Amino acid sequence: MRQGRFRIDALDPAGPNAERITELFWFMTITASVLYLIVIAVMVYAAFRRREPRPGPAMETRMERRAGIGVAVGIGVTVVVLITTLLVDFSLSRANASTGAEQRPITIEIVGHQWWWEVHYEDSVPQRRVTTANELYLPVGQRVKLVMTSTDVIHSFWVPNLAGKKDIVPGYRTETWIQADRPGVYRGQCAEFCGHQHAKMGITVIAVPRAEFDQWIARQLQPAATPTDSLALAGQQVFVNGPCAMCHNITGTTASGIVGPDLTHLASRRMIGAGTLLNRRGQLAGWIVDPQGIKPGVRMPSNQLDPNELRALLAYLETLR
């Protein structure tokens, strides 16, 4: 299934982790189907075979022996199939958990919130740490380490085209590795019921060539520029002096809230509201004015702005590339 140009399909793997899981899926599906057909065939045979007249005592012993052999073979096959499946599953989990040959891996810290994803690209130099939300950029062909935790309840990180689910647990760090071998835009989804808006906890993963990834990092490291346009400048005042700044950070301004997503490069993102709406002017306006109508229960309150303030605010937010 595709959502516009977003890929979301567990059987269309775009990286090694998802490939292994797809192989396991087909292995189990085919094994189970073959066994099912054999069981059905034996049942049909037993139901329709010709009844024999009541046998004598010598014949009865022979038949009991035959039945005993049948049961032993059935148990043997079951044990072999279960152990094989267990071993295949175990080796797959090990392979997916291993770091591969990456010398200096990219490490991304992900913090789950009700109902959005906080994202930090780690760097030994604090000033080179990139913070964003609900969107991951990955360089194609490189293994990326994800270190995850939650601030409230259990969530689960799942990008079906790239890797299996990994739970995100409050007060605990879980790790996983992902890799995208094909450039593309992949849709991820929280996969653990985490409250009212669990379904609207999406994440966009964008896999791009390494050079483009480096450009993206460089752009994300820039603080927000002060707008030159007077309308956008008025919008900046609405933002920093209004309630927005209490929850959101925009680096380069006095807005430094940490309750909601960092908005320093909001305009560069494809979606808003954690994959809820496309990042277009009309949707953004609707989201600012009535987030409770779009995603009931979300932490963001509805905002009563007069039309001029709203227009200015939108003009400002659109400068945050």
Q: Is 165 one of the binding residues for ligand CUA (CB under 6 A)?
A: no
* Closer of 176 and 253 to ligand CUA (Cβ): 176
Site string for ligand CUA, 108-127 (x = CB under 6 A): ----x--x------------
Q: Is 135 one of the binding residues for ligand CUA (CB under 6 A)?
A: no
To ligand CUA, the closest distance from the beta carbon of 204 in angstroms equals 15
Residue of 108, 148, 194, 312 interacting with ligand CUA (CB under 6 A) = 194
Tell me how far apart the alpha carbons of residues 108 and 102 are, in angstroms, rounded to a whole number.
Answer: 15
Cα dihedral across residues 135, 126, 260, 225: positive or negative:
negative
* Closer of 168 and 310 to ligand CUA (Cβ): 168
Residues counted in the chain = 321
- Going by C-beta distance under 8 Å and a sequence separation of 6 or more, which residues neighbour residue 249? 131, 255, 256, 257, 258, 262, 263, 264
To ligand CUA, the closest distance from the beta carbon of 157 in angstroms equals 9
Q: Which of residues 225-244 bind ligand CUA (CB under 6 A)?
A: none
- Going by C-beta distance under 8 Å and a sequence separation of 6 or more, which residues neighbour residue 197? 114, 115, 295, 296, 297, 298
To ligand CUA, the closest distance from the beta carbon of 192 in angstroms equals 5
Q: Is 200 one of the binding residues for ligand CUA (CB under 6 A)?
A: no
φ/ψ of residue 293, rounded to 5: -80, -30
To ligand CUA, the closest distance from the beta carbon of 179 in angstroms equals 23
Cα dihedral across residues 140, 112, 114, 307: positive or negative:
negative
* Closer of 111 and 185 to ligand CUA (Cβ): 111
Q: Is 190 one of the binding residues for ligand CUA (CB under 6 A)?
A: yes
Residue 46 half-sphere exposure, CB side, CA atoms within 13 Å?
8
Interface with ligand CUA (CB under 6 A): 112, 115, 155, 190, 192-194, 198, 201
